[in-house]
Amino acid sequence: MESQETRVLLIEDNPGDADLVRLRLIEGHAGVRVECANRLSDALISLSKEVPSLILLDLNLPDSRGADTFRKVMEKAPNVPVVVLSGQDDEALAIKAVHQGVQDYLVKGDVSSKQLERAIRYAVERQALLRSLEMVRKQQIEFKNQFLSHVSHELRTPLTCIHQYVTLLLDGLAGPVAPEQSDHLKTVLKSVNQLHAMIRDLLEATRAESGKMRVEPRCVSIGELIQQSVAMMQPTAREKRIGLEMGLDHRIPLVCADPDRILEVLINLMDNAIKFTQAEGSVIVKACLAEADPDFVYVSVTDTGRGIQPEARALIFERLYQDPDAVDNNRSGLGLGLYICRELIRLHEGRIWVASEPGQGSTFTFTLPIYSLPRLLAPVITYEGQLRPAFVLMRVDLEPLTSPPRGNWREIWQVCLDTLRRCVYLDKDLVLPPVATSGTAETFFVVASTDMQRAPIMTTRIREQLTRVADLNAKATLRITTVPVGLAAPDPGLSLEKQVERVADRVTEMIMTGLQEN
Amino acid sequence: MGEGSMATKETKESVMRKPKILVVDDDPDLVRALRLRLRAHNCEVVTAGDGYSVIATAQKEHPDLIILDLGIPVGDGFVVLERLQSSDTLSAIPVIVLTARDPQTNEERAMKAGAAAFFQKPVDNDELLNVIRVSLPHRRSPEVPMLS
């Protein structure tokens, strides 16, 4: 730092103050170069060209005042130390700035060149220290996550071997097994499965922490997911003599959710509910709407178990939280399940919480966004308060040449969907969330803000990009059709919101008839 | 579990030969277990333990299907996939990847490289057998036999 030139960006609108500070800077230290900006906008331009060693900042400028000024400067140059130049009368604001990450402040008219030099030196060095600490912290987190990820993969190899041999024995492929031996083997298998689930959770939690968890929302029926998960959990509930029921309102609209991940959340919540409920108790899974929150569906799992103490409720969704009463119950798990649930729901832009009365039971509730076409369409089909002039509904059909199990195609379809999304303009076209169709073909719909004359440009682009998806040509045929979204002459009296709804209704109608024809 | 066999016993003209599966994994214990299970489902099993011998074994044995681990020595699973794909005689053989590696970072890559399916270890036996059944070239496994 000593040998290098210190570049100071002085952001100050008062020419007298600016000259004074510049003079102090230059007389105090030979290696200082000062650049001045007298407006925030000029300063931001200068910052995008060259990163200075330090910023001296007057908070009140012609185009920005107070706290806003340092927020904008720090957003633009997060790694550059900032020293605020404060007037006698706004020291309070300068102190507030220090709390929010500014390195220091100096009161104008009260500054000697020695003080200024020291303030600059300290600010620069403190900032460098902070940055290196932050870097070390990030490296440690990254190291820990890599380690956990590595460990959970390495554990899979011996686990696979145990699993294979236990199932070989159980299935009688290595000779007949006596009933008692079979029981013992089933116990081994149960523990193997528990271990497997723990390894999965460990990896999932690591992913959540490092922001690598993914969800792939589609347009799905939450009722079906609840039915599916209840059917999967019914044997466990029956074994413990717990009634597992559903309360489904059949008017529940479709939701935007990743079916596999929501199934995971439901099963996790039900598994906990059953675990903490005594025999003859009950667990109810419900889906309903809330008037106060019209954009979401509320899904809840209610048990008649022993409930959760108030102080535990705040912690229950945190990583590694263990119910202290459950620890003596053996096999309490890793304490990651609810944390993973929370992260999954958060990725769906929903919320999850718990209400509980100790001794009476608990209700875990989460919300999922309702699939609403007008809401999805509004930002792309309107421009400056008006509906765009024309729309085209584009349909992309991918028909498999053979009929493999659907599971194997999911990855390919996802690649197709991602490819489609890259082919359209984000601000004026919309690739609709995939519709769960019963057929073997996968169909994607795109609403494009274009007309029939220009639509071929887009279909060509889509065709070219999709045919580049590895192996798609060998596996499926591709058909793209475009239809204009025919709208009656817009009623000028109609609000924009209503017009968007009209387009959405029309698109839905076209999709429904299109799918029925197939 | 265990009743379904991979090959039908007879057709009009001749006795069908058993489907031949090449199992590639560097863990001999796992290979042995898979061999036992696949044999019980009426498959013939050949094995390889590294990337180098996969190609030679495949050329010699003409398997109907390959089960491939990604973390194998001497050219990992992706190298093997690439070599299989670029070979005129071997590119049609369906490959099922069975690996301990993370699907999030490997599944798409494996599918793009030509795999027919991807499973993370440990795998559910029924799921694996089902996918083997549907991935086998049709002339040798007309239908799931236990259904007919």
**What pLDDT was estimated at residue B138?**
60
Q: Do A411 and B107 touch (CB under 8 A)?
A: yes
Q: Do A161 and B120 touch (CB under 8 A)?
A: no
Q: How many Å apart are CA B41 and CA B39, to the nearest integer?
A: 5
Q: Do A470 and B113 touch (CB under 8 A)?
A: yes
Question: With contacts defined as CB-CB under 8 Å, which chain B residues touch A159?
Answer: 121-122
Confidence of residue A482 (pLDDT cuts 50, 70, 90): confident
C-beta separation of B20 from B43 below 8 A: yes
Nearest C-alpha in B relative to A207: B104
**What pLDDT was estimated at residue B39?**
93
Q: What is the pTM of this model?
A: 0.63
**What pLDDT was estimated at residue A181?**
94
For chain B, say whether A385 makes contact (Cβ under 8 Å): no
Listed residue (B90, B86, B103) closest to B60, CA to CA: B90
**What pLDDT was estimated at residue B146?**
34
Whether residue B3 is predicted with pLDDT greater than 60 in this model: the reply is no
Q: How many Å apart are CA A21 and CA A120, to the nearest integer?
A: 12
Span B95-137, pLDDT tens digits? 999 999 888 788 888 988 889 889 999 998 988 998 898 888 7
Q: Do A412 and B34 touch (CB under 8 A)?
A: no
**What pLDDT was estimated at residue A372?**
83
**What pLDDT was estimated at residue A292?**
87
Q: How many Å apart are CA A439 and CA A441, to the nearest integer?
A: 6
Whether residue A495 is predicted with pLDDT greater than 90 in this model: the reply is no
Confidence of residue B140 (pLDDT cuts 50, 70, 90): very low
Chain mean pLDDT for chain A? 84
Facing residue for A408 by CB, picked from B27, B101, B117:
B117
**What pLDDT was estimated at residue A464?**
84
Question: With contacts defined as CB-CB under 8 Å, which chain B residues touch A416?
Answer: none
**Which one of B3, B31, B36 makes the best mutation probe of the A interface by having the most chain A beta carbons within 10 Å?**
B36
User: At a CB cut-off of 8 Å and minimum separation 6, what does B106 contact?
Assistant: B70, B97, B99, B118
**What pLDDT was estimated at residue A183?**
92
Facing residue for B122 by CB, picked from A153, A159, A470:
A159
Average pLDDT over residues A82-90: 83
Confidence of residue B80 (pLDDT cuts 50, 70, 90): very high
Q: Do A174 and B36 touch (CB under 8 A)?
A: yes
Question: With contacts defined as CB-CB under 8 Å, which chain B residues touch A415?
Answer: 108, 111-112
**What pLDDT was estimated at residue A344?**
94
Span A19-50, pLDDT tens digits? 888 888 777 666 788 888 988 989 989 988 88
Question: With contacts defined as CB-CB under 8 Å, which chain B residues touch A411?
Answer: 107-108, 111, 118
**What pLDDT was estimated at residue A338?**
92
CA distances from B112 to A471, A474, B79, B118 (A): 7, 12, 13, 11
Token pair, residue A28, equals 């105090």
Report which DSSP code applies to A218: E
C-beta separation of A209 from A145 below 8 A: yes
C-beta separation of A328 from A339 below 8 A: no
C-beta separation of A72 from A66 below 8 A: no
For chain B, say whether A418 makes contact (Cβ under 8 Å): no
Q: For A174-331, where are the E strands, in sequence order?
A: 218-220, 243-248, 255-257, 282-289, 296-303
State the DSSP string of A455-506: HHHHHHHHHHHHHHSTTHHHHEEEEEEEEE---PPPPTTS-HHHHHHHHHHH
Span A339-350, pLDDT tens digits? 999 999 999 999
Listed residue (A376, A512, A497) closest to A443, CA to CA: A512
Q: A237 in helix, strand or coil?
A: helix
For chain B, say whether A474 makes contact (Cβ under 8 Å): no
Nearest C-alpha in A relative to B112: A470
Residue entry with tokens 């995971």: A264
Q: Do A405 and B134 touch (CB under 8 A)?
A: yes
Within 60-119 of B, beta carbons closer than 8 Å to A belong to: 100-102, 104, 107-108, 111-114, 116-118
**What pLDDT was estimated at residue B5?**
57
Q: How many Å apart are CA A392 and CA A480, to the nearest integer?
A: 12
Span A230-285, pLDDT tens digits? 999 999 999 999 999 999 877 888 888 888 899 999 999 999 999 889 999 999 99
Return the percentage of chain A with pLDDT > 70, whole number: 91
**What pLDDT was estimated at residue A293?**
87
Listed residue (B91, B73, B78, B86) closest to B27, CA to CA: B73
Interface contacts (A, B; CB < 8 Å)? 84
**Which one of B101, B108, B138 makes the best mutation probe of the A interface by having the most chain A beta carbons within 10 Å?**
B108
C-beta separation of A471 from B111 below 8 A: yes
**What pLDDT was estimated at residue A411?**
66
Question: With contacts defined as CB-CB under 8 Å, which chain B residues touch A149?
Answer: 102
Kindly report the backbone phi and psi dihedral angles of residue A485, in degrees, each rounded to the nearest multiple of 5, phi listed first: -80, 100
Question: With contacts defined as CB-CB under 8 Å, which chain A residues touch B36?
Answer: 168, 173-174
Lowest mean pLDDT among A55-59, A147-151, A154-158, A440-444: A440-444
For chain A, say whether B33 makes contact (Cβ under 8 Å): yes
Span A131-149, pLDDT tens digits? 899 899 889 888 888 888 8
**What pLDDT was estimated at residue A348?**
92
State the DSSP string of B65-131: EEEE-SS-SSS-HHHHHHHHHH-TTTTTS-EEEEESS-HHHHHHHHHHTT-SEEEESS--HHHHHHH
Q: How many Å apart are CA B18 and CA A318, to the nearest integer?
A: 53
Span A91-117, pLDDT tens digits? 888 888 888 888 888 888 777 778 888
Question: With contacts defined as CB-CB under 8 Å, which chain A residues touch B33?
Answer: 161, 164-165, 168
Lowest mean pLDDT among A109-118, A217-226, B80-89: A109-118
